[in-house]
Amino acid sequence: AAEDKSFKYVVLGGGVSAGYAARQFAKEGVKPGELAIISKEAVAPYERPALSKAYLFPESPARLPGFHTCVGSGGERLLPEWYTEKGIDLILETEIVKADLASKSLTSAAGATIKYDSLIIATGSTVIRLSDFGVQGADAKNIFYLREVDDADKLYEAIKGKKGGKAVIVGGGYIGLELGAVLKLNDLDVTMVYPEPWCMPRLFTSGIAAFYEGYYKNKGIQIIKGTVATGFDSNENGEVKAVKLKDGRVLDADIVVVGVGGKPLVSLFKGQVEEAKGGIKTDASFKTDVPNVYAVGDVATFPMKLYNELRRVEHVDHARKSAEQAVKALKASEEGKTIDEYDYLPYFYSRAFNLSWQFYGDNVGDTVLFGDNDPTSSDPKFGTYWIKDGKVVGVFLENGTPEENKAIAKVARLQPPVENVDQLAKEGLTFASKF
């Protein structure tokens, strides 16, 4: 039967934030039995970005325990044994179906009650499904979404079972781009479909996107833009066979992967905690308006000091740092102390094929493209500056060295003024390396 338990600290969610929170608790000092991490997943916290990259490689794919947190940022790999040694309870395969913040208690699907003194909400995001919009046939077999290790295992099996088959990727965001690449590496015939005029439109300019689309085409990936999937046909076994597009085209498909975005998992707390911009509203220590309740990672809408604005960030670097900040603040508050407010510089990255880009800062204002963005070049290297109110506020770089990436991060943080935009385009990376 389900067992009732009680802890001083509970982290709800067992993803990236949870792993970095656990490490921070251990650093700050936590006694055996004080901390529990509750996850509906069956495994200890891991670096989620691996799932759309090395996890699906045709040769020696990454597998757990290889990528448990905190290896993704060059830190110690926390194996399940580490939690045992520290006396941290990993309560796995346990979905919380009810949260009562007033009585400080959580209820699992099996009916167990878990009580806490302080709670860190780290439930992350869930994928948006085509069935949410009533797309016809969207529940056919071999239509995949990717969020958790279980999803990746199912996709991996399908890839192995459909060698030489046809794959359709629905969505042109970073999940779509990474999966398109890795499915191609697995010798599938890949077609990508998205409604926007170019891929990753929320970050990429047309100039940046032109490079990636050209590169993908040269790899043999077909790209269909400006239309959406409106339905799916399946065979007598219920397996997907074709994707029907709004423009009337029909694409054969043995595997479909959908990456059309995510939504933060906040429904457990509806009406109990203040929300903002789709997430749980926090202060610069990730404290919510409910005493002793914090929210971190994808679900937190926090004050971004640099831009003087409330923002929600769905990227791994912020998941790590917000978790550390929340634990530091929580521990400090026990001693009546406060800590420096979170001062986050947005950092996103992605990798696919031999490509690797980084972005720092804010993608607002005018843009200046620099470098060699010819997709047929043997060693392309290019980037983009975003300029607002005469200052550089964001920088994107493909194929940067570690030093160059450090330099662009510094520029995005410092926001140096720009006198001459043509000059900036000519200088390119040299401009960034001056700071």
Residues making contact with ligand FAD (CB under 6 A): 13-18, 38-41, 48-49, 51-52, 95-96, 122-125, 146-148, 175, 265, 268, 297-298, 314-317, 319, 348-350
Q: How far apart are CA 144 and CA 153, in angstroms?
A: 11
**C-beta separation of 70 from 19 below 8 A:** yes
Instruction: Please say which residue, 166 or 321, places its beta carbon nearer to ligand FAD.
Output: 321
Tokens of 87: 């006396």
CB of 316 to ligand FAD, least distance (A): 4
Per-residue b/e over 65-95, b at no fewer than 16 CB within 10 Å?
eebbbbbbeeeebbeeebbeebebbbbeebe
**C-beta separation of 294 from 120 below 8 A:** yes
**C-beta separation of 232 from 242 below 8 A:** yes
CB of 164 to ligand FAD, least distance (A): 25
Tokens of 50: 């691996």
Strand-pairing partners, residue 218, are none
Instruction: Please say which residue, 106 or 188, places its beta carbon nearer to ligand FAD.
Output: 106
CB of 264 to ligand FAD, least distance (A): 8
Instruction: Please say which residue, 37 or 245, places its beta carbon nearer to ligand FAD.
Output: 37
Distance (Å) of CA 3 to CA 115, 175, 243: 12, 38, 46
CB of 17 to ligand FAD, least distance (A): 3
Instruction: Please say which residue, 37 or 429, places its beta carbon nearer to ligand FAD.
Output: 37
Q: How far apart are CA 52 and CA 174, in angstroms?
A: 9
CB of 15 to ligand FAD, least distance (A): 2
CB of 321 to ligand FAD, least distance (A): 11
Instruction: Please say which residue, 199 or 368, places its beta carbon nearer to ligand FAD.
Output: 199
Instruction: Please say which residue, 359 or 370, places its beta carbon nearer to ligand FAD.
Output: 359
- Closest CB to ligand FAD belongs to which residue? 15
**C-beta separation of 65 from 75 below 8 A:** no
Q: How far apart are CA 432 and CA 403, in angstroms?
A: 11
CB of 204 to ligand FAD, least distance (A): 15
Phi-psi group of 357: left, alpha or beta (phi > 0 → left; psi -120 to 50 → alpha; rest → beta): beta
Q: How far apart are CA 47 and CA 416, in angstroms?
A: 34
Q: How far apart are CA 363 and CA 368, in angstroms?
A: 12
CB of 285 to ligand FAD, least distance (A): 17
Instruction: Please say which residue, 147 or 162, places its beta carbon nearer to ligand FAD.
Output: 147
Instruction: Please say which residue, 151 or 427, places its beta carbon nearer to ligand FAD.
Output: 151
Radius of gyration of the chain (CA): 23
